Amino acid sequence: MKRIIKSKTILYSILLGSIILSTTSCNKDFGDINKPWDNKVYTPTIPGLYTSIASSMAENGRPLFTSHLYQASQLAASYSASGYRLDDKSSASWYNYYGALIDYNKTMELIEKDSAVARMTNIKAMLKTLISLKTLANTTYYGDMPYSEAGKSYLGAQYYRPVYDKQQDIFSNALKELKWAIDNFSTSTSQMSLGSADVLLQNDLSLWVKFANSVRLRYALILRNKDAAGADAIIADALSKPLLEPAEYISINPAKITGLQIDRSGTFRGNSYIRMGSTIWNAMSSSAATDGSGIYDLRTKIFFEPNKAGQWKPYPQNPPAGTEAETANGVVDGKNNDPYAEARTTTWLAPGNYLYSPLNYYYVADRTIPDLIITGSEVSFLKAEIYNRGIGGVAANPATAKQFYNAGITESVKFWYKVANSSTIWVVNKPAAAPTDGELSTMLANSNVAYSNTVATALTQIYRQSWLAMFHQPYDAWVLQRRTNYGTPFTQLAPTSEVLDLNKLIYPQAEASSNAVNWRAATNGADDKSKKPWFMP
């Protein structure tokens, strides 16, 4: 029976299975590391704890991104107020991070106590890469947060209520940890291997270096709003070291983990009222023609589909008075109006009606699409931005910026064609394995895509295409939107919008009671989603 991810616990079980199957190879390398720790309840091991941390890299908080972050980033629109409350759903990423931080601290403790610590430098670098990425991501979501004293509750009561560190200090330390990892990965044969336990990158050290360095480059660009000199030094150093190539990406990938499926369909039903929005439609089509004749972006028909009547009809991001109401998801008058209903796998035309273009059913329902952590396309757009702006120790170079810009678009399109074509459930309007050279050339030459000779316009294009390439990464698209001061495609929202001025996530409600003193010091007693984190302009 196939197992389907709906939580970190299930993913952990799947990944742990791969470790159990490879016990012999792990024991060969680890020896004393696998001996029981002096705890009567359980026996933590480095491979097992690493697996727990690796499992936490998967997407989390899906009800949040389908109900809030898709419309906040404007990668989609919501035709009705979500049934999910922000303060209820914003805690998933918080607890995901702190669970991983505990595992990280315990793993590092085991490593430092072991007599073979000198042979585990690569493992330390892997762990530092993963937790540094999670740290930087989490602070861009929430702002100030517990860090230096956090994840150590197993050491005693003095760590039960950790202080909130300033975001600036968190950025500084996490970026230093990434540099340590990049500088210390070693090809020495004396280094121990995690064997099959490294389900993320299969012990490919060159890819680990690219991963860590690409993450460092991403967050250096975010840092630059507040510390240009410090960021430029990091950018210059990152550009001198290996980075992800345009076609490379880091992910939790069902194709590489036996029995793994990633089920995201449930979060598009029920209380998530998601449709294609007017903002993204205007970034993918040159006209409002409902027959789709204005579509120039080759990913449009992979991400979205026409409404029940076969028309391409976006829901307005800020619906004016008189906007025709969408029919509710679910069964209405005996007919199922839900475009995300599972029955569409076998019966494509739903019996009911939906007026606005939904996300493509197959994109929602396919359980083999990898959870993307960072992609070579994103790195290409970061490079395009650097050469467009002339920062990080490089001179502005429009030709080089254009080269990376085109590479980012090209590889994003190729990736989604490959994903859609490899889907075993995709039947209706299934794309080819890859776009033709002619199709790509036509898209890149379109007046809405072709790299502009005007520097400011070209920068806007870079942000737009990076945002589009992050369709499957709404958290990262939201960060991009905020770090560019809303430089990604954006429509001013109505004053009543539930995502108006969503500049940070709300801290979990439990923080106000269990860590009250430190929570009050960080929030002045009132947590506010509109408060800008330190990194924002």
pLDDT tens string 392-412: 999 999 999 999 999 999 999
pLDDT of residue 351: 72
Task: Give the residue-averaged pLDDT of 510-527.
Answer: 96
Q: Is residue 341 a part of any domain in this protein?
A: no
Contact 75, 477 (CB under 8 A): yes
| Euclidean distance between CA atoms 408 and 384, whole angstroms | 9
Asked whether residue 334 is assigned to any structural domain, the reply reads no
pLDDT of 34 over the 70 cut: no
Q: Judge whether residue 8 has pLDDT over 90.
A: no
Q: How far apart are CA 251 and CA 364, in angstroms?
A: 18
Domain assignment of residue 20, yes or no: yes
Residue 267 lies in a domain: no
Q: Tell me whether residue 118 is in a domain.
A: yes
Per-residue pLDDT, averaged over 423-446, amounts to 97
Q: Look over the chain and give the mean of its residue pLDDT values, rounded to a whole number.
A: 91
Dump pLDDT digits (tens) for 149-207: 999 999 999 999 999 999 999 999 999 999 999 999 999 999 999 999 999 999 999 99
Q: How many CB atoms lie within 10 A of CB 98?
A: 20
Band of pLDDT at residue 333, cut at 50, 70 and 90: low
Range of the domain at 197: 11-203+504-526
Average pLDDT of span 208-216: 98
Q: What is the pLDDT of residue 214?
A: 98
Q: Which long-range contacts (CB under 8 A, 24 or more apart) does 345-348 make?
A: 345/425, 348/427, 348/428
Give per-residue pLDDT as tens, 111-137: 999 999 999 999 999 999 999 999 999
Question: What pLDDT shows up at residue 88?
Answer: 84
Tell me the β-bridge partners of 250. Answer: 374
CA distance 248 to 364: 23
When pLDDT is cut at 50, 70 and 90, the band that residue 4 belongs to is very low
CA distances from 72 to 119, 142, 318, 323, 378 (A): 46, 15, 12, 20, 20
Q: What does the DSSP 8-state code read for residue 304? A: B
In this model, does residue 23 exceed pLDDT 80?
A: no
CATH classification at residue 180? 1.25.40
pTM of the entire predicted model: 0.92
Using the Cα atoms of residue 136, residue 138, residue 142 and residue 146 in order, give the sign of their dihedral. Answer: negative
CA distances in angstroms from 511 to 149, 346, 526, listed in the order given: 15, 46, 12
Contact of 500 with 490, CB cutoff 8 Å: no
* pLDDT greater at residue 61 or residue 305: 305
Within a domain: residue 482? no
Residue of 498, 476, 497, 499 whose CA lies nearest to 488:
476
Angle value at C-alpha 303, between 297 and 307, nearest 5 degrees: 100
Tell me the three state secondary structure of residue 333. coil
- Candidates 175, 246, 248, 247; CA nearest to 212 is 175
Residue 536 maps to a domain = no
More confident residue, 281 or 39: 281
127: in domain: yes
Q: In angstroms, rounded to a whole number, what is the distance separating the alpha carbons of residues 259 and 11?
A: 10
Task: Work out how many domains the chain is built from and give that number.
Answer: 1
